[in-house]
Amino acid sequence: MILEQLQTIHSFGYGPESTVTPDDIAAKEKELGFPLPEALRELYLTFHPDDPLFSGEMHLIPLSLLQTCQRTCWSYTILTLLPFCRGEKYGYAFEVSRHIKKIPCPQGRSADDPEIFGLFVAPETAKEKKDLNGYMVPCNKARLSQWLVEWLSYEQTRAQPSIVAVNKDKVPHYSDLQKMIPHHFYEIPKEELAKAQYNFVTRYTEEPSRLLYGTILYAPTGYIGAQTDEELEALMKQLGFRYTWVKSQTGHPIYNAAPPEPPKERELLSITPVLEFLRAFAGITRTGAKEESIQRAEARLEAPLPLPMEEFYRCLPSSFYHSYNTIRPLSTLRKAKDGKLNFLEENQAVYHWAAELNSPFLYRRSNDGVGEWVPFGIIDGFLAAEFLWALACDEDLDLNLWEFPDFEPDMLKPGGKLASHLFPIANITEQIAAGNTRRLYQAANGQAVGLYDSLEQTFWFVTKDEAVEDQLDKELFPR
């Protein structure tokens, strides 16, 4: 079914040939009471049990450890599932059988190419035991054969000794990358392209160098992997667009997607002056959450909201809660057992952000079922930047959001290209940037707002109209 694709993926790795035999698979099938899907049998016959794919943060489950589990669906149907890939708590499985409660379970079976589910393989709460997701794995529905090829080739890309990352939203000649790395690991028949769904996009080439490309479908970043830095240097020189190093064997600076160090605790500042400036800048007259809504939320939480969060909800109309990232309404805020207040979800559901009552810290967690909350910033500066982003991405406001071309962080230092054009907002955006990865500025006499993201190494301008954009263009790029 997918043996040829699996062998190609295996050839880009370092693991030995599999030691699993057809007899081993037959013995496991006898133990389980049903035959394994062909794609899974081919997987175990191709990859050695000691291959890194069986031991990573999210990893394949070795043949010897396969065992079924049960979940309740629609309160009266029991599903028997076979997990085949997992992290610490979350994983993926396919259905073996289903039966109505109180009716004996039928003998197990498995479809030739079953659809897969996301689930908590080590549930700790009643909610986790009920979680069964067949629609987003991680982006769309998927059948086992396609998902295995896509996921394995993506993981093999991330396992290469040399890797660069490109931002898919910023690459002006993205089609050039497709030409340079043209071969798909999983080919969709032309007659099925119109209705085809993906979770990952993965490609490879073997001439003139062996290169891999992989990305999660809705993620902003794509990865290119190779055996040597020199191969990637040659490719990126041909392509001609910006990139960052994720892995280097010759000393290239490595991009780190996490804050360089946990933020230091400090006193929270009121961000109302900044939010009111941004409201006036965008021409917003509607109000945000009413006082009684805030009071009800605080009564339910049995503690006052952090001051910047209270101000954030009071100033931001609910129509902006889904402009880009998803902001949870006050009525749905609940304190988790660990004390975290999960209030924001990244627009592709890659990350969640949370506050903590009686604490200045902001926390971030990857939405993969295995990540834990880690301190990521201070909530005042984060919410001020998030407020701007919600306004800038709203289609009805018709603001102009544009990235400053060829930006370098040194441009913000005294004497730098941007430094003399940027000023604090309400004289506090410098203070609330402490401990955070984003910082706000104003420019063009308050007719433009700037946003620096130190993680992405990018700078964005938000302007009201093209005239202000033209003014900035003339000032920053004198001809």
Burial class (CB in 10 A: 0-12, 13-18, 19+), 346: middle
Is there a single domain that holds both residue 99 and residue 226? no
Say if residue 193 is in the same domain as residue 137: no
Is 263 inside a domain boundary?
no
Last residue of a domain, one of 81, 113, 144: 144
Q: How many domains does the chain have?
A: 3
Find the radius of gyration of the CA atoms of the chain: 25
CA distance 256 to 435: 16
362: pLDDT strictly greater than 70: yes
What pLDDT digit, counting tens, does each position of 405-434 carry? Answer: 888 899 999 999 999 999 999 999 999 999
Q: Which of 144, 178, 193 is the last residue of a domain?
A: 144
pLDDT at 173: 58
Residue with tokens 């830095």, as numbered in its chain: 229
Average pLDDT estimate for 185-206: 84
Let me know if residue 172 belongs to a domain: yes
Asked if 237 and 290 sit in the same domain, the reply is: no
The residues pairing with 366 across neighbouring beta strands, listed in sequence order, are 351
What pTM does this model have? 0.64
Higher-scoring residue by pLDDT: 425, 222 = 425
Report the C-alpha gap between 117 and 73 in whole angstroms: 12
32 belongs to a structural domain? yes
pLDDT at 343: 94
d(CA 235, CA 224): 10
350 located within any domain: yes
Is the model's pLDDT at 380 over the cut of 90? yes
Provide CB contacts within 8 A for 35, sequence distance 6+: 29, 109, 110
The per-residue pLDDT for range 395-409, each reduced to its tens digit, is 889 899 888 888 889
Residue 242: pLDDT above 90?
Answer: no
Quick one: pLDDT at residue 461?
94
pLDDT at 75: 67
Residue 70: phi and psi, rounded to 5, are -125, 145
175, 123: one domain = no
In the chain the first and final C-alpha atoms are separated, in Å, by 61
Higher pLDDT among residues 89 and 4, named by residue = 4
The pLDDT of residue 115 is 93
Phi, psi angles (nearest 5°) of residue 326? -100, 115
- Least confident span in 14-28, 188-202, 325-339: 188-202
Average pLDDT across the chain, whole number? 89
- Are 295 and 242 in the same domain? no
pLDDT, average across residues 32-39: 95
pLDDT digits (tens, 9 = 90+) for 102-118: 666 555 565 689 999 99
| Of the listed ranges 39-43, 138-142, 255-259, the one predicted with least confidence | 255-259
Domain that holds residue 49: 3-144
Model pLDDT, residue 403: 85
Residue-level pLDDT at 335: 87
Which of 68-77, 218-227, 282-291 has the least mean pLDDT?
68-77
One domain for residues 8 and 100? yes
Instruction: Measure the CA–CA gap between 265 and 102, rounded to whole angstroms.
Output: 55
**Confidence band for 479, pLDDT divided at 50, 70 and 90:** low
Q: What is the spatial distance between Cα 134 and Cα 122, in angstroms, rounded to a whole number? A: 18
pLDDT of residue 405: 82
Do 139 and 170 sit in the same domain of this protein? no
**For position 15, what pLDDT does the model report?**
81
Amino acid letter for position 152: L
- pLDDT reported for residue 260: 57
Whether residue 265 is contained in a domain is answered as: no
41 neighbors 82 (Cβ within 8 angstroms): no
Q: How confident is the model at residue 129 (pLDDT cuts 50, 70, 90)?
A: confident
Q: Between these two residues, 315 and 455, which has the higher pLDDT value?
A: 315
Tell me, yes or no, whether 172 and 98 share the same domain: no
Asked if 334 and 420 sit in the same domain, the reply is yes
Q: What is the CATH number of the domain that holds 290?
A: 3.40.1580.10
Q: In this predicted model, which residue has the larger pLDDT, 382 or 242? A: 382
Boundary (domain end) residue, out of 230, 247, 264: 247
269-283 per-position pLDDT tens digit: 999 999 999 999 999
Instruction: Give the pLDDT of residue 161.
Output: 95
Given a cut of 90, whether residue 238 has pLDDT beyond it is no
For residue 120, being part of any structural domain is answered with: yes
Pair type for strands 200-205 and 340-345: unpaired
**34 and 165 housed in the same domain:** no
Q: Is residue 152 part of a domain?
A: no
Q: Let me know: does 93 contact 114? Beta carbons within 8 Å.
A: no
Instruction: Decide if 264 is inside a domain.
Output: no
Whether residues 435 and 314 fall in one domain: yes
**pLDDT value at residue 337:** 82
Give yes or no for residue 188 having a pLDDT over 80: no
Q: In terms of domains, do 168 and 314 share one? A: no
pLDDT digit string, tens, across residues 131-183: 888 877 887 888 999 999 999 999 999 999 999 988 776 555 567 788 899 99
